[in-house]
Amino acid sequence: MARIAFVGLGRMGRGMAGRLLAAGHDVTVTNRTAAAAEPLIAAGARFASTAAEAVSGVDAVFVMVSDDDASRAVWLGADGIMAGEPAVGAFAVECSTLSSAWVAELSSAVSQRGWRYVDSPVTGLPEAAAAGRLTLLVGADPADLNDVRPLLEPLATDLLHFGPVGAGTAYKLIVNLIGAVQIAGVAEGLALAERAGLDLAQVEQALATGQAASPQVVRNARRMVAGDHPDPVSFSGRLRRKDAAYAMSLAEELGAAAPFGEVALDTLDELIASGLGEVNESAVIEIARRRAGRT
């Protein structure tokens, strides 16, 4: 079994670290708030007060944080990962959804230190993380992926290798931008259905079995009709907005137009401005209702 550090114990990270621990690995965890680590410590993990301490002597470090700023802090901070001393040739497995530009910068810096960088953002909700049913979207050297695969397998039912480092992030940003467009679209459709006097519960059921159905549409349409945006928060509007913005930056880097993405991002900006950024992303229905003329 491997010695592993896991940095970032939010809704996704806790479940992922738990899967590595259950697989029999020697896991050290660290997080800004120590309380998040308590269930993992009870299950046998060790807690380190800093990332630099957590990675001492490890074979791999997994990171799952919210955005570029958090990633920079845990990697490059005074007590960050890069200040630690892992085993020679250790793996750096970045599971966070980050911007393409930061992944390029980070992977270069990490590789210069002798780490083997694996770009591995994920798809799946917190319950899938806890059950080991994520999909890993990997960008890595094929030889590195072959070597690290046994460490990834407890986390996922599917592992998709898109190419070299950065390719996994590119796909993740693209698929999350598609999700943002779908969510904005279903919110607009439900708001129109409401204005037309249709029974929203019936509309939601019809959507779930019709040609417009997708997991994203079905899940969010149900929550939009139920209005249960605050609890549980599977994926917040703030995080969806962050991912959409990173995707639009990627489009700009590539010189590609993304007009539907622009509309979705504007909608998410309005959601954030309305104070609904921390509840579930399904709250975007309130923006669509406002635009449709409901007060």
Contacts of 125 (CB under 8 A, 6+ apart): 234, 235
CA quadruple 36, 41, 46, 49: dihedral positive or negative?
Answer: positive
Select which of 14, 19, 116, 172 is catalytic.
Answer: 172
Q: Residue 187: how many CA atoms within 13 Å on its side-chain side?
A: 27
CA quadruple 35, 39, 45, 51: dihedral positive or negative?
Answer: negative
Angle between helices 237-254 and 167-195 (to 10 degrees): 120
242 is catalytic: no
Distance CA(252)–CA(272), nearest Å, equals: 23
> CA angle 38-44-46, nearest 5°?
70
Distance CA(13)–CA(5), nearest Å, equals: 12
Contacts of 103 (CB under 8 A, 6+ apart): 94, 119, 165, 166, 169
Catalytic site positions:
172
